[in-house]
Structure 1
Amino acid sequence: MTIKAVVFDIGNVLIEWQPERFFDSVIGGQRRREMFANVDLHGMNDRVDMGENFTDMVMATADANPDWAPEIRLWHDRWIDMAAPAIDRSVRLMKALQAKGTPVFSLTNFGIQTYDIAARVYPFMREFDRDFISGHMGVIKPDPQIFQMLEDESGLSGDALIFTDDRADNIASAKARGWNTHLFSDPAGWADRLIAEGLLSEEEAQ
């Protein structure tokens, strides 16, 4: 079947998402490692990505962990510094696909409030042909339900879709549904895949 839509993850595909790197730069690597070992910050973030209120969730986590409260609050107050910078070539690939008339969807683990914060800085996040944002959907990747919801809402499934994501577990879930998949490591590799699929020319993929 001809590919009819291209599905992009956002974090570490279109914008870098590196909380550990941010905290290393602010509090140092040793203290960051201690904090992440003692506080389930990624679990907190998953709950935000499933639709819980960003501010309430971070502040409640800070209150529950007073030894780390000032650092945890940075997750809220400087969140955009963890979600930076944009991966410019990936953004160009997204726009090149759309310029050729190929629909581009997002499929992303992202909170309701944090998506709005990011979209103010990265306007391309408002330019997908269809948005599939976990915070609004109430489920996160790699749960098969989120892939089913995209299929149901778009009317596309199986090899009519090609999906890129930086996490192998998310790729495995999509592959299990018959989607074409690409494990993202860098934009050059993704560009090569889009060229190989006949979706872009080499010139268009620059």
Structure 2
Amino acid sequence: MTEIRHIVFDIGKVLIHYDPELPYRRLIPDQEKRLRFLDEICTSDWNIEQDRGRRWEDAEALLIERHPHEEELIRSFRRHWREMVPHSYDGSVAIMEGLIEAGHDVTMLTNFAADTFSEAKEMYPFLHKPRGVTVSGEVGLIKPDERIYRTHAETFGLTPEATLFIDDSEKNVEGAKAAGWNAVHFTDPEKLRADLKSFGVL
């Protein structure tokens, strides 16, 4: 097995919590109505296009044209975005910081809208600690598209077979493997420590 020289972290649900339902529990108290709104209007498929680079103004206009009576709730998605990322995962953040302090090459690769990622960096200073980050909304590509892994490797000079990627999404893990990386599925810090040990990193 090739020695791991580069470690790449996903961010959402690996380093920081993300749940778009959180502000809507307040805005739409009725659970059935709330889930229907998120399943049928401000859907994950709609939101992922902002991660790909679509402007929020265009995304909102698209939905408001279809659902004019829901304009305020549609605009609330971006307006109350900070409520969706209320805390970090201290265990995995500690692992990442420990790797950096030990001299490992650590970068990040994330599906994130460019503007909300800027806000996330303000909220969570540890996001400045890795050597760098590829943000999907800035490059116009999203995981698990193999091209975003290649872009990240080229940008930061990573050797694919010497790279280990950590992501909470199994399809993104498979995308990394298709790009020639090693990759592990994140579920909790304990499993991550075990995975890192299995690759000879810890």
Aligned to 1:121: 123
Would you say the 8 A contact 1:158–1:178 is kept in 2?
yes
Aligned to 1:203: none
Aligned to 2:144: 142
Instruction: Verify: 1:33 aligned to 2:35, yes or no.
Output: yes
Of 37, 48, 54, 1:52 maps to: 54
Aligned to 1:42: 44
Give the superposition deviation at 1:133. Answer: 0.8
Q: Deviations over 1:51-107 (max 9, x none)?
A: 2223x1453245222232222222111101112211111111111000011011111
What's the secondary structure of 1:107's corresponding residue?
Answer: strand
Structure 2, unmatched stretches of 5+, are none
Q: Deviations over 1:105-157 (max 9, x none)?
A: 11100111000111111111222212111111110001111011112222323
Aligned to 1:184: 186
State the AA in 1 paired with 2:70: W
Relative to structure 2, which stretch is displaced further, 140-149 or 66-75?
A: 66-75
State the AA in 2 paired with 1:71: L
Q: Deviations over 1:36-62 (max 9, x none)?
A: 2321532332121112223x1453245
State the AA in 2 paired with 1:141: K
Aligned to 1:96: 98
Aligned to 2:19: 18
Would you say the 8 A contact 2:22–2:83 is kept in 1?
no
Distance of 2:55 and 2:130 partners within structure 1: 24
Instruction: Verify: 1:158 aligned to 2:160, yes or no.
Output: yes
State the AA in 2 paired with 1:175: K
State the AA in 1 paired with 2:5: K
Report percent identity of matched pairs. Answer: 33
Structure 1, unmatched stretches of 5+, are 201-206
Query: In structure 2, do the counterparts of structure 1 residues 157 and 25 end up closer, same or farther at CA, with 3 Å as the change threshold?
Result: farther
Distance of 1:62 and 1:153 partners within structure 2: 35
Give the superposition deviation at 1:22. Answer: 4.0
What's the secondary structure of 1:163's corresponding residue?
Answer: strand
What's the secondary structure of 1:68's corresponding residue?
Answer: helix
Relative to structure 2, which stretch is displaced further, 117-126 or 60-69?
A: 60-69
Aligned to 1:84: 86
Distance of 1:117 and 1:88 partners within structure 2: 19
Q: Deviations over 1:155-191 (max 9, x none)?
A: 3233200001111111111112231111111122112
**Which TM-score applies when normalising by structure 2?**
0.91
Matches within 5 A, 1:58-69: 58-61=59-62, 63-64=64-65, 65-69=67-71
What's the secondary structure of 1:47's corresponding residue?
Answer: helix
**RMSD across aligned positions (CA):** 1.7
State the AA in 1 paired with 2:21: E
State the AA in 2 paired with 1:60: A
**Which TM-score applies when normalising by structure 1?**
0.89
Distance of 1:16 and 1:60 partners within structure 2: 28
